[in-house]
Amino acid sequence: MWDYSDKVKEHFFNPKNAGAVVDANATGEVGSISCGDALRLTLKVDDNSEIILEAGFQTFGCGSAIASSSVLTEIIKGMTLDEALKVTNQDIADQLEGLPPEKMHCSVMGREALQAAIANYRGEEWKDDHEEGALICKCFAIDAVMIEEMVWANKLRTVEDVTNFTKAGGGCAACHEDIEAILEKVLAEKGEKFDPGAAPVSKPVEKIAAVKTPLTNLQRIKKIEQVLESLRSSLMADGGDVELVEVVGNTAYVNMTGACNGCQMAAMTIAGIQQRLMEVMGEFIKVVPASEMAKLVNIEVA
């Protein structure tokens, strides 16, 4: 069986807030019985303060789906809707002391149900843009849909390309056969043939000449912008974007938006951006989410 953390087991065996909230004024429903996971989240929201007073869940799903739903209701109770919207699936997974990669989608389902419920409260329409495929790379929790999209968007041709753009295949390498199968399929759709010996598509950053001499702050900012620009296409293929907010010394503050914001890949994406920046700039660069800027800048200034 799965190696579930004690926290997952705790929430599974003694779920909190199970059942529908009686006088709920917000409902979010995601998943479906055909994929074996479905969640209905009901909230009672205070109309003046927009504070979530009560939250209840009904879940059809496995142990981690039930645990994710339970922990989600605990996290959001007492939050305002705006605060709740900032809850990421990683927050849910963290509260559960981690989930196996195959089960990360359970936490994604929790976040989506929350978004759907808030949209329902506000009278907006919530559209799910998130499609899920079979899990290909267990080391980095990357599914077939994501790899296929990246292969299409960036004209990838080899396993190495896929690893450079998605990280899939960059760990134990056991998924390389499956990645080759995806390449074969997509390339065939494009009328090309998969050739394992093909020259790799250059990494986006390699188009930018590496810097040798020490940089002035203005040069540094320009260079960082340039690198981020080059990464944007792959981020956007994933439904996200990145914006440079401020540079203080060797620290770059960025805003991750769209699917990247809070997606399970956000932390990894930030690490990836930092890695590429350092490769190009030839100096240490720290990439920090802009949400942490205020306190950090104050310290710098002080």
Partner 1 sequence: MADIYLDNNATTKVDPAVVDVMIPYFLEQYGNPSSIHKFADGVARGLKQARQQVQALIGCEHDSEIIFTSCGTESNSTAILSAIKAQPDKKEIITTVVEHPAILNLCSYLEKEGYTIHRLPVDRAGRLKLDAYQRLLSDQVAIVSVMWANNETGTIFPVAEMAEMANAAGVMFHTDAVQAVGKIPMMLQDTKIDMLSLSGHKLHAPKGIGVLYLRRGTRYRPLLRGGHQERGRRAGTENSASIVGLGKACELALEFIEYENTKVKAMRDRLEQGITEQIPHCFVTGDMYNRLPNTTDIAFEYIEGESILMLLNKAGIAASSGSACTSGSLEPSHVMRAMDIPYTAAHGTIRFSFSRYNTMAEVDKVVEAMPGIVATLRKLSPYWSGDGPVANPEQAFAPTYS
35 or 199, CB closer to partner 1? 35
Nearest to 110 by CA among 288, 262, 289: 262
Least CB distance from residue 98 to partner 1, whole Å? 16
Q: Angle of helix 176-189 relative to helix 159-166, nearest 10 degrees? A: 100
- The answer for residues whose C-beta is within 8 angstroms of residue 138's C-beta and 6 or more apart is 101, 102, 174, 175
| 175 sits near ligand FES (criterion: CB under 6 A) | yes
Residue 171 found at the interface with partner 1 (CB under 8 A): no
35 is catalytic: yes
Longest dimension (CA), the chain: 66
Residue 36 interacts, among partner 1, ligand FES, none and using kind-specific CB cut-offs from 5 to 8 Å, with partner 1
Q: Are 151 and 243 in contact (CB under 8 A)?
A: no
Q: What is the nearest approach in angstroms of partner 1 to the Cβ of residue 189?
A: 16
Total residues binding partner 1 (CB under 8 A)? 40
- Please select the residue that binds partner 1; options are 92, 116, 118, 242, rule is CB under 8 A: 116
Are 115 and 126 a contacting pair, CB within 8 Å?
yes
Applying CB under 6 A, which of residues 24, 96, 104, 137 lies at the interface with ligand FES?
Answer: 137
Q: Is 206 in the site for partner 1 (CB under 8 A)?
A: no
CB 140 within 8 A of CB 170: yes
How far is it, in rounded angstroms, from Cα 282 to Cα 243?
A: 21
Residue 58: name its binding partner from ligand FES, partner 1, none (Cβ under 5 to 8 Å by kind).
partner 1
- Site size for ligand FES (CB under 6 A): 11
Q: Is 106 annotated in the active site?
A: yes
76 binds partner 1 per the rule CB under 8 A: no
- Using CB under 8 A, pick the residue from 19, 78, 196, 282 that binds partner 1: 19
Q: Which one of 35-43, 154-162, 198-206, 253-261 is the stretch in contact with partner 1 (CB under 8 A)?
A: 35-43
Q: Residue 57, SS3?
A: strand
Of the residues 62, 106, 137, 175, only one is catalytic, namely 106
Told to check if 174 binds ligand FES by CB under 6 A, we report yes
CB of 143 to partner 1, least distance (A): 9
Pairing type for strands 135-137 and 52-60 reads unpaired
- Least spacing, CB of residue 178 vs partner 1, in Å: 12
Beta strands in the chain (DSSP E): 26-32, 37-45, 52-60, 135-137, 142-143, 240-248, 251-258, 286-289
**E strand or H helix that includes residue 187:** helix 176-189
Q: Which residues bind partner 1 (CB under 8 A)?
A: 1, 9, 12-13, 15, 18-19, 29-40, 57-63, 65-66, 100, 102-103, 112, 116, 126-128, 131-132, 134-135
